[in-house]
Structure 1
Amino acid sequence: MSKYIIAGAIALVAGNAMAACPALTGPDQGGAYPHLFEKTEFENLQSCTLSFSENPAIGQLNSLIAGNPALLPLAQRLPQEPLIIAPYESIGQYGGVLNGISKATESGTSDLLSVRHVNLVRFSDDLATVVPNVAKSWGWNADFTVLKVNLRKGHKWSDGSAFTAEDIAFWYNNILMDNNVIEKPKDRFLSAGKAVKVEALSDTTVQFTMNEPAPGYLDNFAQDYAQPFLPKHLLENFHPEFNADADKLAKSLGFDNGYALINFYYGQSDWKDIPTPLLKDAAAAERLVEAGFTAIMPTLESYLVVEESLEKRRLVANPYFYQTDTAGNQLPYINEINEVYIGDEDIQTAKLIAGEVDYKAQAVNLPQAPVLLENKDLGKYEVYLRPTIAQTTIAFNLTDKDLEKRAIFNDVKFRRAMSIAMDRDQINEIAYFGLGAPTQYTGFDADTTPFITEKQKTSWIQFDQKAARKLLDKAGVKDQDGDGFRDLPSGKKFELNIQYATQGTPSEVVEIIAKSWTDVGVKTTIKEVTSDEYRNSQSANDLSVLSWVMGRPLTNIASNIETLVPPYGSFFDLRTGMLWSQYLDSNGAEGVAPPATVAEMKKLTDRFVTLKAGSDESNKLGVKIADRVIDDLFIMGTVKAVSPVYRSNALANFEVPKTSSYEFYRMYPYLPAQWYFKN
């Protein structure tokens, strides 16, 4: 071959390699995953070289982050292997403030948490495929006992420090498993009830070694609010295992010891919306900045908090965020998030109608939909009615402080009576405009879990107050004084009060339930409280009747069975059997021994998480679990319906979610870092 032909070919290849990359949009661009590319993958597919650009305002935004160092150049802020996003509709433009509403600091906040959230992986918008995010790739051994996760070279925390596998090992071994910080690690992060072995094999590879097969372990991170990494470079300064002078340093900053300062940053919780140091103690936060530390913990998220009060929270774009679009623009496009706290549903609705909000789904209840739809042109927004996964459920406190009530609540005849006493058709018509279906709580999402049967979905949901009265009589709850209302077996008045928060239960639902129960002789009143009041009372075992949204998809339960065993979820769920949980946690030293069905359920669920979701063995076991949920009837379903999703017309690259639900972490599957505002 002529040397001139060879030289020409080399020049052609070099020219192609240096060509500008096309600004591709949409899901189907030839990558391994919809909307996603690794940098090298994208450049090879397009025969191009990406060049990168930054938000012109990023320096000013960085200056708002108390204690953050001066910015490094963009080439040093992005990883060597950034995650490349092909936007849904179009390459965006920088600027603007995303306006959102939450109920309070730690209430109704998942909407905006999901906008900024990151984790090792996520579910794609098909809600079935696990795709890369913080993690570049991963691999299991044959029996799902060893998981290796590969991270991105050059990834940095929001303060410019290197993010490595050590930050994951530190989170697990030195925070999660240290009872000075976390009193009791969540079961979903354990294997066979014991610690997982977590090792940093290199800067970019971390290995998880299980005690038994755990095929859903990685999937848990695809949908979980908890992030399996913490900034070791910051927290190790105050951890006595890493710094012999940790307590001395902490005391010089006004804290009792190093652990107290770690908890000041971290808050003893993986939940991200606990108050930051800016709200906990502004003077202490200022001392940290003066000593050379940041005022809040560095993050990998797309936004971080810069101002916080009891009325609102302000966040700015992370200048070290690891994602770009296909044109090389660092994400996110939107400069800031403004989150205000509105506890009153009527005021929240008024702000939505006025178009003062850009996105809202959580705690927007279906009864609000007609007025929102009526005013959408005036307010320049859209409202989408999307299927829910969870439904409003109701339960009785199985370890109620009143021992006589507790005995009644633990009689399955009573629970069955109260279930069939509820007029679910009326709930559907009045609260859900006929758009739902009466459905029993089965633990799993009854609509998308393939093994849930029609019989399971409809067990104990028929409206039959005559049969309910007979069951109540058999349970010993009778009208003894002739006043028309049933009494406890001792003759004491038997009255129920449903305390509820509209974040979890529409008012119309509890109004109908209270009337239905009163109609069969169980006098029932209702009282609306804030989400925080409800959750605190529930956790303190102070409520007799409990109500919240419950129900999860198969993929979610296959990696996390906490809503199937006492106390049936976390602080943010419906919880009953709190004293059963206390008994189990203390090996019988405290609390109340649970009935045998609890131990039987635990055996089933412990086996369930060792099986691959969707396999025949897993499905057969799932049927048994759902049957036990229904037979126990510790939690009762009401109506499964649709729920509104609100979005400003100005917000671009917004993909309407398949469900209006928390269970896949709201907008997390839909790449909100590429949202932007149209001119």
Structure 2
Amino acid sequence: MSIRHKSLKVLSLFLFCTLLLAACSQPASEPATGPAGEEPAASTADSGQTPSEAQSSSEAVGAPAGAGPILTDKPADAGERPVQQEIFNSPADYEAASGMAITEYHEAPQLAELVAAGELPPVAERLPKNPIVVKPEETIGKYGGQLRNNITGQNTLRSSEAGYFNYEPLTIHNPQGEIVPNVAESWEWSDDYTVLTLHLREGIKWSDGVPFTADDLLFWWEDYILNDELVPSKPTLLTRGEQLAEFTKVDDYTVQFAFAEPYALFTTYLGSWGFPRTDPTSMPKHYLSQFHPNYVEMEEIEAMMQEEGFDNWVDFFQHIRSFDNPDKPSISAWIPNEWPPQPIQTYHRNPYYWKVDTAGNQLPYIDELRTIRVADPEATLLKTIAGEFDFVRIAYLGGPANLPVLAENKESGNYRFAYANWMPNSFANIMFNFTTQDPVKRELYNDVRFRRALSVAINREEIVKLIYKGGVFPSQVAPAYGPPYHGESELFQSYAQFDPDLANQLLDEIGLTERDSEGFRLGPNGEELLLVISATTAWPVETPQVMELVKNYWAEVGIRATVKPEAGELWAARHNAGEHDISARGAHFGGGPVHPTLNSNTFALSGWQWAPDWALWLDTNGAQGVEPPDDVKRLRQLREQILGEPDEAKRNELMQEVFRIHMDNLWSIGIVVDDPKFGQLTVVNNRLRNVPTWSISGEWYPHIPASWFINE
């Protein structure tokens, strides 16, 4: 039995059978719905519906919202049903796929009243020429109600979900994990993938009814990106060949990006975590130009600044353009009612929202997001168990450690669980100072045999039992599980086995054969060798405990070490300044909605934790930093190939080469990785329906919360 499968058994026991009935039927590396959307359609049994209920749901697809009865079936729990929700780029696409036409549009009763009173145009005039069509997860929903959400912590500005639920980038991940059109209805690349032409969805309107056009994107580019006060350092993701893109308005609904080198991955970046996804689509020119000196005299702006308590124009403009500004028009599903922070922060529906369901009902179904401030995770946990919140991520509930408590109270609290996929967290990852001023350690740390020896000397299975009590797997740092990166594969078990004999053999090969009176190995120079491990207390907090165990394992093969816990800010300052010997902290490799090319650890990008001096040398073309080994240089070469490669299969092949280079060199030593579906798990009240049982992202946005509804 493999290390990973042994750990899965521990995990199952840890989280109780009530939590893992679905998960235990499949390996952790095979989510119920993978990035490729390869799962078959759910049967009636899979969906948790009786045949009559399934028929009612099917018939409801052609009915207006609110026409059907309240659902009486029990909602599916975490992972029990493959994702049913589908996204269609237009009504015509939906008709072509289903054979059913959308012949008219409907709206929420409160909006119909405004139309009848002459205060709002008819719904058909508020929608774009081709609204996006959403096939709901379970059934056509009902209008009305409030989604109750938490704001955990008195120093937290607002609910992060309020932001996630309202992301509307140019492109987006669909529920199956593919990048598809969103605000941009379509696009095409030039033959050499240097010029991207984006066609905006014609007829989208801002929440005040003003048309959204290419002029808004042009404002974002010319008056924001190119403004050196607002953006002094231009985003690297908008550059190729060290040149900033050229942006052009072709017509009212067409724009172009032109790059110095091929950039096929750019359409993925436009809808991905790590890129300023919402900036291009959240800057209404007609509103923000009132506060910009390119359009208004500075004296007028200064008067407004004074009124708002600002003495710096840049700060004032960033404040005005923020999502939290209730006066700023938006194209999102919900709009804030007041500036944060508030004890209760609320958001109302956008009457001009541009997505509909398969019956032609304008989304969102839910009238209002109601986010309530609570003191801390413990208070959030108590309110969630009491059924006072509808949607709470595990991070706000004290983390996976509280899963047993949550599982025990599911019935009384009237809630269920939903999984979310993300890039795995690598906890207590060990990093070396490859450019240390100590010549003895510098030689050792740059010898891969030394790093491999230290890795196989660690008993990861014991660490899981003693520190984590399950819930994590022994592994090197790994990307997302399943296709296309396969973080669960044996590749990421390289030198992760517990093998003290191999460790001793490798250390002897290096020449560390001399020992002191206590049995510890001496350095190559015959002097004491002491490894000092700087262990952060910030993320994850258990790092010093893990490193104490690591110290003992290394002692068994003759390596003396000591552990020095350091607060997060001190740890970061010392590490980034190269003042550490060995450091320990969490790490990622990317995957899921975070493309690995966005991850500094994967491609030795600026600020690379594992070797910041090497990254600096690459960033400055050798002007600063320390020249890295050829394999590190190869990582950057591969990244350039991946960015320009239009064939996704070839991109994924190149990514596997990247991971093989990492596992062969072992520039850092991973200890354990978590299972993202538990680290990103969400508690969902049973009154909230149409929520998928599995999301491709911890942000949940790809599943369009605008299609969720309150089943009351």
Q: TM-score range by the shorter chain?
A: 0.7 to 0.9
Q: Take 1:333 and 1:536, find their aligned partners in 2: how far apart are those partners? A: 48
Matched, 1:234 2:287: yes
Matching residue of 2:477: 441
**Once the 2 structures are TM-superposed, how far is the Cα of residue 545 of structure 1 from its aligned partner?**
2.9
Matched, 1:49 2:84: no
Matched, 1:423 2:459: yes
Q: Where do 1:270-349 residues align within 5 Å? A: 276=324, 297-305=328-336, 306-309=338-341, 313-339=345-371, 345-349=377-381
Cα offsets for 1:422-454 (capped at 9, x unmatched)? 332234456666565433225x43532368795
Cα offsets for 1:147-192 (capped at 9, x unmatched)? 2222222322234433212222332344234442234334333233
Q: Where do 1:98-113 residues align within 5 Å? A: 98-101=148-151, 111-113=161-163
Structure 1 contact 487–494 (Cα < 8 Å) conserved? no
Indicate which of 495, 518, 527 corresponds to 1:460.
495
* DSSP 3-state at the match of 1:426: helix
Over 3 Å counting, the alpha-carbon distance change for 1:136 and 1:452 in structure 2 is same
**Once the 2 structures are TM-superposed, how far is the Cα of residue 380 of structure 1 from its aligned partner?**
1.3
Over 3 Å counting, the alpha-carbon distance change for 1:445 and 1:77 in structure 2 is same
Q: Where do 1:66-105 residues align within 5 Å? A: 77-90=126-139, 91-101=141-151
**Once the 2 structures are TM-superposed, how far is the Cα of residue 603 of structure 1 from its aligned partner?**
1.2
**Once the 2 structures are TM-superposed, how far is the Cα of residue 379 of structure 1 from its aligned partner?**
1.4
Cα offsets for 1:631-675 (capped at 9, x unmatched)? 34334432352413321111111111255x44xxx3122121111
Q: Where do 1:125-274 residues align within 5 Å? A: 125-127=175-177, 129-224=178-273, 226-227=277-278, 228-229=280-281, 230-240=283-293, 242-243=294-295, 245-246=297-298, 249-250=301-302, 253-254=305-306, 255-256=310-311, 258-266=313-321
Indicate which of 518, 522, 527 corresponds to 2:561.
522
Cα offsets for 1:371-429 (capped at 9, x unmatched)? 22111112111124566542324445656998559947666455434433433223445
Greater CA drift, 177-186 or 644-653? 177-186
Structure 2 contact 108–365 (Cα < 8 Å) conserved? no
Q: Take 2:158 and 2:453, find their aligned partners in 1: how far apart are those partners? A: 33
Greater CA drift, 620-629 or 100-109? 100-109
Q: Where do 1:546-557 residues align within 5 Å? A: 546-553=584-591, 557=595
Aligned residues: 603
**Once the 2 structures are TM-superposed, how far is the Cα of residue 465 of structure 1 from its aligned partner?**
4.5
Cα offsets for 1:544-597 (capped at 9, x unmatched)? 63433513338853764654233477xxxx844445555555566665555554
Structure 2 contact 457–503 (Cα < 8 Å) conserved? yes
User: Identity, % of aligned pairs?
Assistant: 24
Matched, 1:606 2:640: yes
**Once the 2 structures are TM-superposed, how far is the Cα of residue 37 of structure 1 from its aligned partner?**
5.2
Greater CA drift, 308-317 or 172-181? 308-317
**Once the 2 structures are TM-superposed, how far is the Cα of residue 355 of structure 1 from its aligned partner?**
3.1
Amino acid in the other structure paired with 1:629: H
Structure 2 contact 207–331 (Cα < 8 Å) conserved? yes
Q: Take 2:158 and 2:506, find their aligned partners in 1: how far apart are those partners? A: 38
Structure 1 contact 220–556 (Cα < 8 Å) conserved? no
Matched, 1:118 2:154: no
Matching residue of 2:660: 627
Indicate which of 676, 684, 692 corresponds to 1:647.
684
Over 3 Å counting, the alpha-carbon distance change for 1:169 and 1:394 in structure 2 is farther
5+ unaligned residues in a row in structure 2: which ranges? 1-60, 69-84, 555-559
Over 3 Å counting, the alpha-carbon distance change for 1:621 and 1:324 in structure 2 is closer
Structure 1 contact 212–610 (Cα < 8 Å) conserved? yes
Structure 2 contact 544–563 (Cα < 8 Å) conserved? no
Cα offsets for 1:42-95 (capped at 9, x unmatched)? 6896455313323528999xxxxxxxxx97775654434432323222222212
Indicate which of 85, 90, 100 corresponds to 1:38.
90
Structure 2 contact 150–380 (Cα < 8 Å) conserved? no
Structure 1 contact 397–409 (Cα < 8 Å) conserved? no
**Once the 2 structures are TM-superposed, how far is the Cα of residue 113 of structure 1 from its aligned partner?**
3.3
Structure 1 contact 393–636 (Cα < 8 Å) conserved? no
TM-score with structure 1 length normalisation?
A: 0.74
* DSSP 3-state at the match of 2:644: coil
Q: Take 1:584 and 1:433, find their aligned partners in 2: how far apart are those partners? A: 41
Matching residue of 1:360: 392
Q: Take 1:161 and 1:486, find their aligned partners in 2: how far apart are those partners? A: 74
Q: Take 1:105 and 1:246, find their aligned partners in 2: how far apart are those partners? A: 33
Cα offsets for 1:211-230 (capped at 9, x unmatched)? 33322221222333622332
Matching residue of 2:583: 545
Over 3 Å counting, the alpha-carbon distance change for 1:651 and 1:528 in structure 2 is farther
TM-score with structure 2 length normalisation?
A: 0.71
* DSSP 3-state at the match of 2:684: strand
Indicate which of 653, 667, 673 corresponds to 2:700.
667
Over 3 Å counting, the alpha-carbon distance change for 1:645 and 1:170 in structure 2 is same
